[in-house]
Amino acid sequence: MPKAYEYDAFISHAVEDKIPIANELCDRLQKAGLKIWYSGRELNAGDSISATISDGLNQSRFGIVILSKHYISKTWTIREFYHFMAREKEGQKVILPVMYNVGLEDLAQKDLTMADRFGIKAEQGLDHVVSRLLEAISKEKDSEKKVKHGSRRWLNIGLAVSILLALGYVGKTILTKTSEKPTIESMEAAVKARVAAMENTILTTNLYNIKKAGAKPTTIESIDSLYTAFKNMKSYYRNEYEFNNGLTTVRAKKNVAAILQTDVEALRPANAYGLILPQIFLLQKGQSVKYTLLNTQPLHYSISESRQLNDSTYSILVKYDNNIRLIEVDLTFAEKASGMKKHQMLLMGFRHEEVYSLLKRKGIWSLTDK
């Protein structure tokens, strides 16, 4: 059953595009009967900007993305784009792109995933843009209604199992209602909720640290020069590694390397820490240097195996690709040659393979780390 959203759409845009297009687009869509999340209307004095926008992203069915040269040059807008892209799945459209004074070449230079989408051209007029958006949203809503109606019909003739997608992430447990045993759909829904919860944790943590530090985007070349200066400093040194997947925390180079099946000591700016086109922020500079890299590429996962352990427990194996979502690096320079410098690396995301147990308790299946 499709999730119920508070808003029909979230308008993701650069602030420079408010007056030229975003404000009027919001007005017209609202007059057409849509409930729109728009930063110019939903943010109030005293609100936490990052938290309020995060809520808006999660509570909106569609993401209307106004792609412009301003949009693709900003970190915050790109994050909104990837948030919606992470929610897309086969057969369900989330992102509705509007091309505003930007070409496919510009998008391709920023990210090929942006260019590989059919966008509504704003140059054809706002009437055309609004009409196409309403058409796309209406089509998706009709499709979802058919799915919902079909599910009810199957239930009425008793040919399907009742699946209640009451999912929640509480501490270390994800819950999903079920009947006698977990169906493929309920397993996939539980894993999807686990992924969404972890991605949200990573995004929230990263935004908080960036806001607290007043950090700005930087380049791989900039952090490479800082890293090289740290490596070339002659002194005693200490390396610390930590991996967190939201369920467990693993420390020490040997343990982290084993879990991730990666030579973590080889991760450095020269190879972008193994990430493709990461978003990079310099949080601190001086005797102590701190920077963070956010994986902008979509996460892929699949349930490759499931088996029943006993009447109340199932085991499922989930495989992840592009699994490291955030890397945070702390470099502490020694105060003098006889002192000690320290290199700390925190990796957040998922193992390449994670095994979960589905435990049935009082009619509820609980997804936990095994």
**Helix or strand holding residue 156 (H, E):** helix 126-156
218 belongs to a structural domain: yes
229 belongs to a structural domain: yes
Tell whether 89 and 192 lie within a shared domain.
Answer: no
Would you call 305 a catalytic residue per the annotation? no
CATH of the domain at 15: 3.40.50.10140
The whole-number pLDDT of residue 65 equals 94
211 belongs to a structural domain: yes
Tell whether 84 and 192 lie within a shared domain.
Answer: no
1 belongs to a structural domain: no
% the chain with pLDDT above 90: 42
Q: Can you give the residue range of the structural domain that contains 134?
A: 7-158
Three-state secondary structure of 152-220: HHHHHCCCCCCCCCCCEEECCEEEEECCCCCCHHHHHHHHHHHHHHHHHHHHHHHHHHHHHHCCEECCH
2 belongs to a structural domain: no
Return the closest-CA partner of residue 67 out of 28, 30, 22, 35.
22
Tell whether 353 and 225 lie within a shared domain.
Answer: yes
Tell whether 228 and 148 lie within a shared domain.
Answer: no
- pLDDT tens digits along 238-288: 999 999 998 889 999 999 999 999 999 999 999 999 998 888 999 999 999
Tell whether 154 and 179 lie within a shared domain.
Answer: no
Whether 242 and 259 have beta carbons less than 8 Å apart is answered as no
> Lowest mean pLDDT: which of 30-44, 146-160, 313-327?
146-160
Which residue out of 80, 199, 328, 354 is catalytically annotated? 80
Last residue of a domain, one of 158, 189, 205: 158
Tell whether 266 and 122 lie within a shared domain.
Answer: no
- pLDDT tens digits along 199-213: 888 877 777 777 788
Task: DSSP letter for 43, please.
Answer: -
Tell whether 191 and 149 lie within a shared domain.
Answer: no
Query: What is the overall mean pLDDT for the chain?
Result: 80
Where residue 145 falls among pLDDT bands split at 50, 70, 90?
Answer: low
pTM (predicted TM-score): 0.53
> Lowest mean pLDDT: which of 19-28, 39-48, 259-268?
39-48
Tell whether 293 and 327 lie within a shared domain.
Answer: yes
- pLDDT tens digits along 88-102: 654 568 889 999 998
The whole-number pLDDT of residue 16 equals 93
The whole-number pLDDT of residue 160 equals 31
Domain count, the chain: 2
The whole-number pLDDT of residue 48 equals 41
Tell whether 209 and 318 lie within a shared domain.
Answer: yes
- Whole-number Å distance between alpha carbons of 356 and 284: 37
271 belongs to a structural domain: yes
